Amino acid sequence: MVLVDVEESGAQALPHQLCVRAGLYTMVAEALAAAGVPWKACYSEDRDDSVVVLVPPEYSKARLVEVLPEALVRAVHRHNASSHHDARARLRVAVHAGEVVFGQDGVASTSLTMAFRLLNTASLTMALAASPGVAAMIVSRLIFDDIVRHSASMDPATFRPVEVAFREIRDLAWIALPDCPYPPDPTVLQRPTADPVPLGTAPGSPASTGSGTDGTGRGLGPALPSHPA
């Protein structure tokens, strides 16, 4: 599952919001195609200024992490180059995997709920705000452990761990900046899960150690173990 959200779209005038919303689907479809996933093969839902894309299991999850983010960055730059200054976009992206149930009114899934918590976590918002780039991506512990750690084309040391907690959901996730990566820091891969790295600084700034928060500034205890998808 891939969720993509436009940064601060509510602050744009309505004509510019409509331009960005139309462009969002073009950008996501182009990025999926670059990752070898046809748009028509996916299930999608519009969620205000976000789009939810469920990719069938026969397509590679690895390409959704290794190829899609950079392709999305290129698509954003094309959109921004041809749009009014106030209709330019910057995007937050969340990638997760799991089971979903289809009903008459859409889909339901604990995994999808987790993906939305990832997309809306304050750490991802702050990471994009501090970056000069146009995109920030967060992946679940599942995606990081199964794909990023073993990738031949990505450096997992450029990701930064954060704790995500909201209501019933609490776990570790990992943030990367596709077009302005954090400096490689192999020590983050050895940190205990209860010791995420704060992301309220610009890329390139020295990472400091600290306890995670739930987006309200309240400290969290040790991260819970991950659950199978």
DSSP string, 164-210: EEETTEEEEEEEE-TTSPPPP-GGGGGS-TT-PPP--S-TTSPP---
CA-CA distance, 118 to 140, in Å (whole number)? 7
User: Is residue 138 domain-resident?
Assistant: yes
- What's the rounded Cα separation, in Å, for the pair 49 and 60? 26
Give the total number of structural domains in the chain: 1
- The residues, any chain, with a CB within 8 Å of residue 208's CB and separated by 6 or more, are 197, 198, 201
Which residues, including other chains, have CB under 8 Å from residue 203's CB and lie 6 or more apart? 130, 131, 132, 133, 177, 180, 181, 182, 183
Q: Compute the mean pLDDT over every residue in the chain, rounded to the nearest whole number.
A: 81
Residue 95 sits at φ, ψ, to 5 deg, of: -125, 130
**The domain containing residue 107 runs over which residues?**
2-190
Nearest-Å Rg of the Cα atoms of the chain is 17
Q: Do the domain assignments include residue 211?
A: no
pLDDT at 224: 31
CATH number of domain containing 85 = 3.30.70.1230
What are the pLDDT digits (tens) for 67-122? 999 999 999 999 888 878 777 889 999 999 999 998 887 788 889 999 999 999 99
Q: Classify residue 172: in a domain, yes or no.
A: yes
Both tokens of 37, joined, read 């996933």
Q: Say if 153 falls within a structural domain.
A: yes
Residue 21 confidence (pLDDT) = 75
Digit-by-digit pLDDT tens for the chain (229 residues) are 999 999 865 555 555 566 667 778 999 999 999 999 999 999 998 877 789 999 999 999 999 999 999 999 999 999 888 878 777 889 999 999 999 998 887 788 889 999 999 999 999 999 999 999 999 999 999 999 999 999 999 999 999 999 988 776 678 999 999 999 999 999 998 865 545 555 544 444 444 333 333 333 333 333 333 333 3
224 located within any domain: no
How far is it, in rounded angstroms, from Cα 157 to Cα 181?
Answer: 10
96 near 118, Cβ under 8 Å?
Answer: yes
122 within a domain of the structure (yes/no): yes
